[in-house]
């Protein structure tokens, strides 16, 4: 008898034929064959690794078939308390935005057609007026994400061989390992560092402009996911805009609303698009799916000539926004025309502004319905997504008396999956990132996970 993992060994010889296993599945032939092949490949790898052979692979093949038919991208319920959870898709869309996506996806649209003249139009026309009205900018354009907006701005205003001045304390790394120096390098521009990690003064920028005669722009980068405190100094965007060189202001999160009370514990407000535009920045860039509360997108607003340069650049086509994201973003921006409605209907803003009574009532319903293993306690939620890193949103949460790892694993494997967090060995369910309609679903999922 050959070794256990040898193709001729009894455990491997007992593997069913693909056609035989596929024939036991109630599915179209191609799907059944694919599921059978995956089940057999898993079993072969397990046997080679020393696991005992499975007598019947049909149940596992049916599980794989269900996964294949369902797809891997699924809706999940966020009970973590992290509002802009990057792993969970950041900002959930407002109802108006979801409806706009459905309309745009239903058939054809006037994405690039001027209905008045019948001639070719611009997809940016659906967004530019809104963005200008909301920010005070002369012009605006939108690309597919925030990093793309910064890349396009750098390429358009500096480009090959010209310098971009950036303070050393702003040479940050954003999500996914992307770093500002690398983004600038990809634009073709040359990075000119000024100042030190903690302190950069106006004279540092002035010296760079005197020393280099090929500076295309100054870039200010919001630190987003961290803060430098203590012996620090930086130059305000209003002052940078007086130096006579185009300023690119990467404000990060796309804050439009004015709610200072939300940020009292965060070391100051998140920089606002409107403030940067008013200061005179040539181009201001931000993400659409962070504090703005819309889909993934990169917004660029600013002076008419600078925006025109960005639109003309060859990268603009490679980075352009698709019609579904455009529809969602336009619907989100329209909500901002009524600030009170925006706070109520844009989920990110509603979660940030949720009051103690609302959260306490939701937590109470959760705990009561789950039963004896649940109790209401307190913990802090976070904005997430690289926004407001110092902000602690303290409030009521539901703690479960259960084995933490096993319960969170069971919740993730549910339908729909529920994503909770573990803190100090306890499973916490945060009502801030759940809706009232999701509470019964979470209760059912938790009861099943605890019982299992």
pLDDT tens-digit map of 277-289:
999 999 999 999 9
Q: What is the mean pLDDT of the chain?
A: 91
Q: What is the CATH number of the domain that holds 358?
A: 3.90.1150.180
Q: Is the same domain home to 30 and 51? A: yes
> What is the per-residue pLDDT for 55?
86
Sign of the CA dihedral with 205 first, then 237, 289, and 316 last: negative
Report, as an integer, the average pLDDT of 146-171.
94
In a domain, 99, yes or no: yes
Burial class (CB in 10 A: 0-12, 13-18, 19+), 173: middle
Report, as an integer, the average pLDDT of 431-445.
97
Compute φ and ψ for 220, nearest 5 degrees. -105, 130
CB–CB of 86/289 below 8 Å? Answer: no
Statement: residue 388 has pLDDT above 90: no
Q: Is the same domain home to 57 and 101? A: no
State the total domains in the chain.
Answer: 3
Boundaries of domain holding 25:
10-70
Report, as an integer, the average pLDDT of 22-31.
93
In a domain, 2, yes or no: no
Who has greater pLDDT, 256 or 258? 256
Q: Is the same domain home to 260 and 130? A: yes
Q: Is the same domain home to 125 and 255? A: yes
> What is the per-residue pLDDT for 10?
63
Q: Is the same domain home to 187 and 298? A: yes
- Per-residue HEC secondary structure of the chain comes to CCCCCCCCCHHHHCCCCHHHHHHCCCCCHHHHHHHHHHHHHHHHHHHHCCCCCCCCCHHHHHHHHHHHHHCCCCCCEECCCEEECHHHCCCCCCHHHHHHHHHHHHCCCCCCECCCCCCECCCCHHHHHHHHHHHCCCEEEEECCHHHHHHHHHHHHCCCCCEEEEEHHHCCECHHHCEHHHHHHHHCCEEEEECCCCECCHHHHHHHHHHCCCEEEEEEECCCCCCCCCCCECCCHHHHCCCCCCEEEEEECCECCCCHHHHCCCCCCCCEHHHHHHHCCCEEEEECCCCCCCCCCEEEEECHHHHHHHHHCCHHHHCECCHHHHHHHHHHHHHCCCHHHHHHHCHHHHHHHCCHHHHHHHHHHHHHHHCCCEEEEEEEEEEECCCCCCCCEEEEEEEECCCHHHHHHHHHCCCCCEECEEECCEEEECHHHCCHHHHHHHHHHHHHHHHC
Q: Is the same domain home to 57 and 147? A: no
Report, as an integer, the average pLDDT of 67-83.
92
Statement: residue 224 has pLDDT above 90: no
Q: Is the same domain home to 52 and 127? A: no
Q: Is the same domain home to 314 and 389? A: no
Burial class (CB in 10 A: 0-12, 13-18, 19+), 52: exposed
Q: Give percent of the chain above pLDDT 70.
A: 94
In a domain, 3, yes or no: no
Q: Is the same domain home to 389 and 321? A: no
> What is the per-residue pLDDT for 225?
74
Residue 165 CA to residue 214 CA, distance in Å, equals 11
In a domain, 5, yes or no: no
Compute φ and ψ for 18, nearest 5 degrees. -60, -45
> What is the per-residue pLDDT for 203?
96
Q: Give percent of the chain above pLDDT 90.
A: 79
Q: What is the CATH number of the domain that holds 323?
A: 3.40.640.10
Q: Is the same domain home to 395 and 446? A: yes
Q: How confident is the model at residue 255 (pLDDT cuts 50, 70, 90)?
A: confident
Residue 427 CA to residue 142 CA, distance in Å, equals 40
pLDDT tens-digit map of 394-423:
999 999 999 999 999 999 999 999 999 999
In a domain, 354, yes or no: yes
- 403: tokens are 């084995």
Statement: residue 321 has pLDDT above 60: yes
Q: How confident is the model at residue 260 (pLDDT cuts 50, 70, 90)?
A: very low
Q: How confident is the model at residue 439 (pLDDT cuts 50, 70, 90)?
A: very high
CB–CB of 81/354 below 8 Å? Answer: no
pLDDT tens-digit map of 83-135:
999 999 999 999 999 999 999 999 999 999 999 999 999 999 999 999 999 99
Q: Is the same domain home to 399 and 255? A: no
Partners of 400 in the beta sheet? 374, 427
Who has greater pLDDT, 173 or 370? 370
Q: Is the same domain home to 145 and 126? A: yes
Statement: residue 261 has pLDDT above 70: no
> What is the per-residue pLDDT for 1?
37
Cα separation of the two ends of the chain: 41
pLDDT tens-digit map of 36-60:
999 999 999 998 888 888 889 999 9
Q: How confident is the model at residue 175 (pLDDT cuts 50, 70, 90)?
A: low
Partners of 374 in the beta sheet? 400
């Amino acid at each position: 008898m050959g070794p256990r993992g040898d193709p001729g060994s009894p455990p491997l010889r007992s593997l069913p034929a693909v056609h035989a296993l596929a024939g036991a599945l109630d599915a179209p032939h191609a799907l059944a064959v694919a599921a059978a092949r995956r089940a057999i490949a898993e079993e072969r790898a397990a046997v080679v690794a020393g696991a005992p052979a499975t007598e019947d692979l049909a149940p596992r093949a049916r599980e794989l078939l269900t996964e294949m038919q369902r797809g891997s991208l699924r809706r999940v319920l966020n009970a973590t308390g992290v509002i802009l959870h990057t792993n969970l898709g950041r900002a959930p869309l407002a109802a108006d935005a979801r409806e706009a996506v459905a309309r745009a996806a239903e058939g054809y649209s006037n994405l690039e057609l001027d209905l008045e003249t019948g001639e070719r139009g611009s997809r940016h026309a659906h967004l530019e007026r809104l963005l200008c009205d909301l920010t005070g900018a002369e012009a605006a354009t939108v690309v597919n994400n925030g990093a793309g907006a910064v890349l396009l701005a750098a390429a358009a205003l500096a480009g090959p061989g010209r310098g971009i001045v950036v303070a050393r304390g702003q040479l940050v790394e954003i999500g996914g390992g992307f770093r500002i120096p690398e983004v600038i390098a990809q634009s073709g521009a040359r990075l000119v560092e000024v100042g030190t990690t903690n302190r950069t003064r106006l004279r540092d920028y002035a010296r760079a402009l005197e020393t280099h005669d090929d500076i295309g722009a100054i870039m200010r980068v919001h630190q987003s996911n961290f803060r430098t405190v203590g012996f620090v100094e930086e130059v305000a965007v209003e002052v940078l805009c007086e130096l006579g060189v185009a300023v690119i202001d990467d404000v990060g999160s796309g804050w439009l609303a004015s709610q200072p009370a939300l940020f009292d514990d965060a070391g100051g407000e998140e920089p606002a698009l409107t403030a940067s535009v008013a200061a005179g920045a040539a181009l201001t860039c931000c993400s659409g799916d962070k504090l703005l509360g819309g889909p993934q997108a990169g917004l660029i607003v600013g002076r008419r000539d600078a925006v025109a340069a960005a639109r003309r650049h060859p990268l603009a086509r490679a980075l352009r926004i698709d019609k579904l994201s455009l529809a969602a973003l336009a619907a989100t921006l329209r909500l901002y025309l009524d600030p009170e409605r925006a706070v109520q209907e844009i989920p990110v803003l509603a979660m940030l502004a949720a009051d103690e009574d609302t959260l306490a009532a939701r937590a109470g319903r959760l705990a009561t319905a789950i039963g004896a293993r649940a109790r209401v306690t307190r913990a802090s939620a976070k904005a997430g997504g690289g926004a407001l890193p110092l902000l602690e949103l303290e409030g009521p949460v539901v703690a479960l008396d259960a084995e933490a790892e096993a319960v969170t694993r069971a919740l993730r494997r549910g339908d729909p999956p529920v994503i909770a967090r573990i803190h100090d060995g306890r499973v916490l369910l945060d009502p801030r990132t759940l809706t009232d309609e999701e509470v019964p679903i979470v209760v059912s999922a938790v009861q099943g996970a605890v019982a299992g």
